[in-house]
Amino acid sequence: MKMFTKLLVSEESLNPRHFIKMVVFVMAGIFFSCNSENTSEEKWVPLFNGKNIDGWTVKITGHELNDNYANTFRVEDGILKACYDDYEQFDNNFGHLFYEKPFSSFKLKVEYRIVGQQMDGGPEWGNRNNGVMLHSQSPETMELDQNFPVSIEAQLLSNSPDTKRPNGNVCTPGTTVEVNGKRLQEHCFNSSSKPNYDGEWVTFELVVYGDSIAHHIVDGDTVLTYTNIQLDDGSPLSEGYIALQSESHPTEFRSVEIMGLRK
């Protein structure tokens, strides 16, 4: 503004024509500045800092809050891992790593890959299977031996060369959703995605607007949409915590980012 003040009081600016031009120039600059702010690109905010699990809470079945049993969740070389190197056997040790804040309307982007072999003792369905929980209950409210939080689960899957399961399916522990206007009766519902395979980095996105609608996007393709997110008792479920799972197959996350949305 100092520059504009000097220009306005110069001798040349005393000429009415120049004065009008200068006012138009200033007003155009102000408009352009405001308009640029309104149309600026949305920013992704990292939830994982690439160094440790600060800001996250661990809850593993049969273990107290923040008992990271057998170093299940760890960060190595900038990668957040759910792994089982220090396990003798997977004994119903379902784990969840909760981010510290709840969210309602947001975009979540996770880059992950499933690697190695499933831990001995893991359930058959847990092979090449992990997940991201959204609208979850808080970790503090989970029972000691509770396997899964009440939430919506977006499945993160991979395949061996001889299988072709879809990715980005939805499961509903303690919750329900509607697909194509019909309330789901089954616990899990498959998406329309192409298969992803072992060791392949996958970009998985969730776009969620409170309890009204959610989209699953796998490598840029929208593969599943559901609406009317509710608890089993019919109550709307419009917000909650985000959690990464450990379900017996090693999984790596190289980024976890979020973008707030207006409902």
Per residue in 57-94, pLDDT tens?
999 999 999 999 999 999 999 999 999 999 999 999 99
The answer, yes or no, to whether residue 3 has pLDDT greater than 90, is no
The answer, yes or no, to whether residue 32 has pLDDT greater than 70, is no
Select from 250, 253, 248 the least CA-distant residue to 203.
Answer: 253
Per residue in 186-212, pLDDT tens?
999 999 999 999 999 999 999 999 999
- 117 shares its domain with 13: no
Give the pairing type, strands 129-136 and 105-114.
unpaired
The answer, yes or no, to whether residue 185 has pLDDT greater than 60, is yes
Bridge partners (DSSP) of residue 183 are 178
- Model confidence at 15, pLDDT cuts 50, 70, 90, reads low
The answer, yes or no, to whether residue 30 has pLDDT greater than 80, is no
- Model confidence at 169, pLDDT cuts 50, 70, 90, reads very high
- 141 shares its domain with 250: yes
Tokens at 104, concatenated: 């309602």
- 31 shares its domain with 52: no
Average pLDDT over residues 145-167: 97
Number of domains composing the chain: 2
- Burial (CB count <10 Å: 0-12, 13-18, 19+), residue 196: buried
- 22 shares its domain with 56: no
Place of tokens 């299940």: 72
- Looking at residue 263, what is its pLDDT? 63
- 221 shares its domain with 200: yes
Per residue in 213-240, pLDDT tens?
999 999 999 999 999 999 999 999 999 9
Tokens at 77, concatenated: 């070389």
- 132 shares its domain with 83: yes
State the CATH number of the domain containing residue 140. Answer: 2.60.120.560
- 7 shares its domain with 55: no
3-state secondary structure string, 139-161?
HHHCCCCCCCCCCEEEEEECECC
- 49 shares its domain with 172: yes
- 130 shares its domain with 230: yes
- Looking at residue 164, what is its pLDDT? 96
Per residue in 113-151, pLDDT tens?
999 999 999 999 999 999 999 999 999 999 999 999 999
Identify the three-state secondary structure at position 187: coil
- 226 shares its domain with 207: yes
pTM of the model: 0.84
- 74 shares its domain with 158: yes
Please indicate whether residue 169 or residue 14 has the higher confidence score (pLDDT): 169
The answer, yes or no, to whether residue 37 has pLDDT greater than 50, is no
- 104 shares its domain with 30: no
Give the structural domain span for 75. 45-260
